[in-house]
Amino acid sequence: VGTIVFENSTSASKAVAKEIADLIKVKQAQKQPCILGLATGSSPKGLYAELVRLHKEEGLSFKNVIAFNLDEYYPMEPDSINSYVRFMKELLFNHVDILPENYHIPDGTLSKDAISEYCSQYESKIEAYGGIDLQILGIGGNGHIGFNESGSLQNSKTRLVALDHITRVAASGDFSGLNNTPRTAITLGVKKIMEAKRVILMAWGESKSHITKESVEGTVTNLVPASFLQEHNNATFVLDKEASSKLT
Ligand code: F6R
């Protein structure tokens, strides 16, 4: 797995946005859809801001973009303040010309017994497009990617998962306390992430430096799902100086 270190998260996010824009344009020229796997959380905010800027100021079109988000809390209403649907609309989708039918975010409103069928359909849709061209990831303090928590298998499928305590604590500020923080989520499985043709994991700040080192330089282990990326042939950790500070 490669690493690239930038002076700060702003310059790093712009570089990632440039790679995405270039891919979208190559696919446009080929009259092909561009299949993006997208993440939420704080790490991709600068990336989405830059993609919106490229659309508004430089005419980058998202008409050929098909997006699949990694995850959603369960249960979760789409218009709730903490939903990932709302996050994606407010930070990206509402500000670019992506067609509403072309973005997909796991549905947090399903009844429990409908989830597993829904998850296999989510994967089938990705497969119908020939897989994800470029997957954006953040990383949890425990090494999770998507909500594939510690212990997730490398061939895990899209599914309902229990969130780790550490993940819930990290989210509890948004939910005004741990008691209100969801205990479960629907996540794209590790397998579909690993099948993406290109993977970019973004990590910023000192608080991500330890898990970045574990993931990049440690043993490949399901205790740290991000370490699976060592076995991907086109994955890059895009880091700011602080997140890279423990790498040897
Ligand atoms: C979000 C996701 C998570 C986050 C991770 C880091 O869609 O899949 O894996 O990427 O929890 O979150 P931030 O960026 O908020 O530190």
208 Cβ inside 6 Å of ligand 1: no
Q: Using one digit for the tens of pLDDT, what is the confidence trace for 231-243?
A: 999 999 999 999 9
Mean pLDDT of the chain: 98
Residue 31 Cα, ligand 1 centroid: separation in angstroms? 32
101 CA to middle of ligand 1, Å?
24
139 Cα: distance to centroid of ligand 1 (angstroms): 6
**Measured in angstroms, how far is the CA atom of residue 2 from the centroid of ligand 1?**
20
pLDDT value, residue 72? 98
**242 has catalytic annotation:** no
pLDDT value of residue 231: 98
Structural domains of the chain, with CATH: 2-240 (3.40.50.1360)
pLDDT of residue 1: 95
Residue in this structure with the two tokens 């923080």, named with its chain if needed: 181
> Which atom from ligand 1 is nearest to the alpha carbon of 208?
16
> Relative to the CA of 43, which ligand 1 atom is closest?
14
Say how many residues make up the chain.
248
d(CA 177, CA 168): 9
Give per-residue pLDDT as tens, 113-157. Answer: 999 999 999 999 999 999 999 999 999 999 999 999 999 999 999
Contact 72, 110 (CB under 8 A): no
- 75 cis-preceded (ω within 30 degrees of 0): yes
Q: What is the pLDDT of residue 31?
A: 98
Q: Is 141 in the pocket of ligand 1 (CB under 6 A)?
A: no
Q: Is the Cβ atom of 37 under 6 angstroms away from ligand 1?
A: no
3-state SS string for the chain: CEEEEECCHHHHHHHHHHHHHHHHHHHHHCCCCEEEEECCCCCCHHHHHHHHHHHHHHCCCCCCEEEEECEEEECCCCCCCCCHHHHHHHHCHHHCCCCHHHEECCCCCCCHHHHHHHHHHHHHHHHHCCCCCEEEECCCCCCCECCECCCCCCCCCCEEEECCHHHHHHHHCCCCCHHHCCCEEEECCHHHHHHCCEEEEEECCHHHHHHHHHHHHCCCCCCCHHHHHHHCCCEEEEEECCCCCCCC
pLDDT (tens digit per residue) in 41-97: 999 999 999 999 999 999 999 999 999 999 999 999 999 999 999 999 999 999 999
Whose CA is closest to atom 10 on ligand 1?
138
pLDDT of residue 179: 97
Catalytic annotation, pick one of 149, 206, 231, 242: 149
pLDDT value of position 211: 98
Query: For residue 244, what pLDDT band results from cuts at 50, 70 and 90?
Result: very high
Residue 139 contacts residue 211 (beta carbons within 8 Å) = yes
ipTM attached to this prediction: 0.99
Q: What is the pTM of this model?
A: 0.98
